[in-house]
Amino acid sequence: MQCVRRQPARTKSQESLYRAQTKTTAKHNMKLIGLEGDKDLQFLMNGGDLLKVRSGSWKQARFYKLQEDCKTMWQESKKAFKSKQTFSVEDIDEVRTGRQTEALRKYTEDSVEGRAFSILFKGRQKGLDLIANSEEDAKKWVGGLEKVISNIKNLTPQEKTEHWIYSCMRKADKNFDNKISQNELKSFLQDINIEVAEDYAEMLFQKCDKSKSGVLEGKEIEHFYEILTEREEIDVIYAEYAKTGGLMSVADLQNFLLNEQKENASQNDALQLIEKYELDENAKAKQQMTKDGFLMYLNQPEGLIFNLAHKSVYQDMNQPLNHYFISSSHNTYLLEDQLKGPSSIEAYIKALLKGCRCVELDCWDGSDGEPVIYHGYTLTSKVLFKDVIKAIKEYAFKTSEYPVILSVENHCSVEQQKTMAEHLISILGSALVTKPLGDQMPTCLPSPEELKGRFIVKGKRLDKLENIFSEESKTAEEESVTEEEDDEGDEEDQEKKSSKSKSLKVAKELSDIVIYCKSVHFHGFEDSRDNQSFYEMASFKEGKAVTLAEESANDYIHHNTDKLSRIYPAGLRTDSSNYNPVPLWNAGCQIVALNFQTPCPEMDLNQGLFLQNGRSGYNLKPAFLRDRDTKFDPITLPEGPWLRRKTLHVMVISAQQLPKVSTRKSSIVDPIVKVQIYGVPADMTEVETQYTENNGFNPMWNENFKFDVRVPDLALVRFLIEDYDSSSSNEFIGQYTLPFNSLKNGYHHVPLLTQNGDHLSFAGLFVHIMVVDAE
C-alpha cells in the first residue's frame, strides 16, 4: 500500500472545480471499463466502513472507497489524525468470500461468516481481512471488486493506454480547470516516464495549441494524445502492406501474414482477424483493416510472441510420469526466508495457482495430537497439517487438472503419522491414490492423463508395492518398522543430527498410501539400475545433483528415463534463494524444486518453461531424454537427433509504457534490453542493446542480434529490461521468458512481467523474430 501525502487545502472555487472534474473523470472511466450505471461499482465509489482484522485484539474500522480512476482503492482510518493509504485494484490477486484465511478463522467467530471477505494481493504484500456491516454489503463489496478487476483486465491495450494517460492528465491538471498549461504538460510527461528537452516540450505544446491561448483544452488535448501515442515503427510496417487506398485489404493482410509472420494463412484467416479486431465499422464492412485495427491485432494473443497453439495442452499426456518435467516447489509452506519467516496455507495456494504440481509438507508433532507443518529447528511459524490439506484440495486443480504430488517430509511420531493418514484419506477422499491403477501390478508409472484430478503421496513405504497383489500384504506388520531416514531432509537438519544413522518409525497407515513415489536412498547409478523399482525415487541435494549433471550427465539421463528424481535447494540458502534449474532439466530431472516465494531469475526460468502446454505443470521431455539408449550428453554434445541447429535473429525495436523503478517524480528510467538464451552450455549467451536515455514511455532501439542454437528443444529465451546505471547495478524493470520452440516468427509484442511473475498491465516490448535452420 502507498501512504498518501497531505495536499494543501483547496479554495472554494478550486473545490467546486475539483468536484466537477472528479464527477466527469469518474463517468469517463466507468464508461471506459464498461460499468457505467453499474450499482455495485457505484457502491464502491460511494465507499463505506469496514472492520479490518489483524489479530484477536486488533480490529479497527476503516473507510474504503474506489477513487474516480476506477482502479485505486482509498483507505482512511477513523483516528483524530487520519492516516490515508491507497492500493491499486490491479495489485489484487483474489477476493475471497467468507472466513477463508488463517487470520479470519483464528480471530473471528462463525457468526460473521457471511459478512467476512479477504483481499489477497500479488507478491508478498500482506492481504486485508475485512468484515462488512451486513451480508448484503459484503456481497456488494466482493461483487463490485470482482467486476472492476475483471473489466480492467479485459481492456484492450489501447483502452488501457487511454485509461492510464487520461488519469495522468487529470493528475497533472493542478487547478482542475480541464486545461493543460505548459508547466502542467512537463509534469505530465514526468508522470508517464519521459523527460524531454525544454525546447522540444515547448515545440510540442505550440504544435497542439491551435487557439494560441497558452493552454490546451478539448480537441487540442486529443491532438496531443494522438501525437503522444503515435507508433512510428507501426506506421512504417503498416504503410508497406496497406496497398488498398491507404488501408489493408484482406489480400494485403494475408500478404503480411505470409511474408512477415511466416504463417500459413489463408484469405479467410486474414478476414477473421479483420472481423475480430477492426475498430472502424465502415472499414470492417469493406473487409479492410485500418492502422488502429492493425495495432489492435498486434497487441492481441495472435500478435504476441508466444505461440498461441502452446497456450492449451498440446503435448502427449499419456506417457509415464517420469517422462515429464514437473513444476515443483520446495518448503512450499514458507512465505519468506527459511529461518524465521511465516508459514502459511496462502503459500500453498499461491504455488498451486501458479501451476505447481509438487508441493512439500514438512511434518512435525503438534499439540493436541494434531501434526503441524513448519521448518524444523527454526523460528518459522506453524500451520496445522489438516488446514494445509484442506487448502490444497480446494486449489489444486484451479490452474491445472493434472495430478498433484504431496512430497511428505516426515518427522512425526507414529501416532501423529496415523492422524496424518486419517486427514489425507478423509479430506481428499477418492481423489487420493491409495492403490495402483488397474487390477494387477503395473510395470511403469501411470500417465498424467490417467491421474487427472488425483493426489499422489511421496514418502516412506514399509514394503514393496508388489505385496499389495500378494498374500504378503495380509501379514505385513500393522504398526511400524524402523527405517533409516531418507537423505531428503534439509542439510541443516542433517548437520544437527548425530553422526549415527538416524532411524524413523513409519506408521503402516501412512505407509499404505504411498503408492507411486516411494522415497529411497540413492547409492549410485549401477545400484539404481539393478535394485530400484520404477515407483521408487531418490531426492538429491542441489550440490550433489549439479555434480552428477556435470560429471555423469548421460548416466543421470539414463536414470531419469524410467525413474523420478527430485532436486532441492542447499540448506545454506536460508534466504530462500534458488539455484539454476537448467542443468538439472538438461539431465532429465523431473522434480526440480524451487523456492516459489522468491522473485529471481531462476523462478523466471521455471515460469517460462511451464508457460507452455496449457500451464499444466507437466511438460513432455524431448525424445532424447526419454530414450533408454540415448547417447545425449549436454556437456559434450555428441552428434545425434538433438542437434537441430537453428539461427535466431532478433530485432529489438521499441518498448511501451515502462514503469518507473523509483517513486521520485523526477526519476526517469534509462532502459536497456538484454536477450538471454538458456539451455545446454554451448547455447548459453547474452546480448544487450544500448541504453535509451530518459525515456520509459516509448524508447526505440532498432538493434539486431543473431544467435546460434544447437539444442532448441532445451532452450529458453529471456527478454530482460533494466534501468541502466553507469555507477551501480542496473535495476529490474520487467522480463519475459518462454521456450525457444514457442517463439513465433515476425513482428510481435512481448508482454512484460514483474519480479513476482505478474503481468505489467501497460508495458510491452516490440520485436521482430526470425528462426531459420542453421546453414
d(CA 425, CA 433) in angstroms, rounded, equals 9
Q: Give the contacts of 153 (CB within 8 A, at least 6 positions apart).
A: none
User: Edge-to-edge, what's the strand order for the sheet holding 2-3?
Assistant: 2-3, 84-88, 72-77, 59-66, 48-53, 128-131, 116-121, 92-97
From first CA to last CA, the distance across the chain in angstroms is 54
- Classified as helix, coil or strand, 361 is strand
Closest alpha carbon to 710 in 648, 623, 664, 630: 648
Separation between Cα atoms, residue 675 and residue 745, nearest integer Å: 16
Task: Give catalytic status of residue 330 as yes or no.
Answer: yes
On the CB side of 712, how many CA atoms lie within 13 Å of its CA? Answer: 17
The pair phi, psi for residue 304, each rounded to 5°, is -85, 165
| 727 DSSP assignment | S
How far is 163 from 229, CA to CA, in rounded Å? Answer: 13
- Containing 158, the helix (H) or strand (E) segment is helix 157-172
- Spatial contact of 382 and 372, defined as CB atoms under 8 Å apart: yes
User: Are the beta carbons of 185 and 228 closer than 8 angstroms?
Assistant: no
Q: What single-letter amino acid sits at 208?
A: C
Catalytic residue among 28, 310, 330, 558: 330
Measuring CA to CA, which residue among 73, 49, 23, 67 is closest to residue 133? 49
For residue 690, count CB atoms less than 10 angstroms from its CB and return exposed for 0-12, middle for 13-18, buried for 19 or more. exposed
Q: Are residues 408 and 515 in contact, defined by beta-carbon separation less than 8 angstroms?
A: no
Contacts of 624 (CB under 8 A, 6+ apart): 630, 632, 640, 641, 642, 713
- Which residues, including other chains, have CB under 8 Å from residue 522's CB and lie 6 or more apart? 487, 528, 538, 540
Pairing relationship of beta strands 404-410 and 455-459 according to DSSP bridges = parallel
User: In whole angstroms, what separates CA 618 from the centre of its chain?
Assistant: 16
| Residue entry with cell 531428503 | 488
Where do we find the cell 478423509?
Answer: 426
Task: For residue 355, give every residue at least 6 positions away whose Cβ sits within 8 Å of its Cβ, in sequence order, or none.
Answer: 327, 399, 400, 610, 615, 616, 617
Longest Cα separation, the chain: 98
Distances (CA, A) of 78 to 119, 693, 763: 20, 45, 37
Q: Which residues pair with 506 in a beta bridge?
A: 481
Active site residue 223: no
Please give the grid coordinates belonging to residue 487.
537423505
CB atoms within 10 A of CB 226: 10
705 within 8 A of 649, measured Cβ to Cβ:
yes
Alpha-carbon span 441 to 602, nearest angstrom: 39
Residue tagged active-site, from 28, 163, 323, 375: 375
* Alpha-carbon dihedral sign for residues 592, 638, 316, 769: positive
Element (H, E) at 59: strand 59-66
Distance, CA of 427 to CA of 268 (rounded, Å): 51
C-alpha 85/C-alpha 91 separation (Å) is 14
Give the C-alpha distances (Å, rounded to integers) separating 647 from 678, 709, 770, 775.
15, 6, 8, 8
Residues catalogued as catalytic: 330, 375
